[in-house]
Chain A
Amino acid sequence: EIVLTQSPATLSLSPGERATLSCRASQSISSFLAWYQQRPGQAPRLLIYDAFNRAAGIPARFSGSGSGTDFTLTISSLEPDDFAIYYCQQRKSWPVTFGPGTTVDIK
């Protein structure tokens, strides 16, 4: 099973600041990584698929990068709705796995 590790566990920032979230895979997953946002009481929302492709309707302030084992989600300028939990997920091999999440909260 491919294990995903996310860092930091919590990121405390102010609106307008840049957020940089990391996801590391226990073995190479090529570019088969997605990022999701989950707000309290809501279902997860796909932000980025296959490492750097923005999903439909996702604002340009969200961007993804990386390949192999190290990946980054960047939010260029945080807006109030962006304070949430972010998960990465790999589809390189079964079972599909998720990272433990990074909480972005308001400083």
Chain B
Amino acid sequence: DVQLVESGGGLVQPGGSLRLSCVASGFIFSSYEMNWVRHSPGKGLEWISYISTSGDRIYYADLVKGRFFISRDNAKNSLYLQMNSLRDEDTAIYYCARDTMSAGVHFDFWGQGILVTVSS
């Protein structure tokens, strides 16, 4: 079965940093493009970042550009999100999400999500 398991969330002060990890299993991780998407009650779902299979193409939402950095390690079946200069409005549940193989940037599998709380 396909599984995506996030970790690394928690409580952090404004201006702080966190690194989220997502470990994949049940599929050939290196063959799939991956994303981070977040959900907060006031804002709904927000796409955050995309990375291609080899990591040579990366995109970010404007609201995190320059602060968040996506990466992957195909040997470890892992996706990462380095989050710096965190703000109150970054508080959300963060999901790693897999692109569909046949239909590009639609998300066919999601992790269970990890809560990030930014507060002093």
- List the interface of chain A (C-beta within 8 A of B): 32, 34, 36, 38, 43-46, 49-50, 53, 55-56, 87, 89, 91, 94-101
Contacts and interface: CB of A to CB of B under 8 A. Distances in A.
A38 B93 CA distance: 13
Contact of A91 (B61, B106, B108): B106
B47 A98 contact: yes
A53 B103 contact: yes
B110 A95 contact: no
| Secondary structure dominating the interface of B | strand
B9 to A, nearest CB: 14
A36 B104 CA distance: 15
Interface of B: 35, 37, 39, 44-47, 50, 59, 61-62, 95, 100, 103-108, 110-113
Contact of A95 (B59, B106, B111): B59
Interface of A, secondary structure class, is loop
Contacts of B62: 95
Contacts of A50: 103, 106
A91 B46 contact: no
B45 A43 contact: no
Contact of A43 (B46, B59, B105, B110): B110
Closest CB pairs A-B (n = 6):
A43-B110, A91-B105, A34-B106, A96-B47, A98-B45, A49-B106
Given A43-B113, A95-B59, A101-B44, A55 B50 contact: no
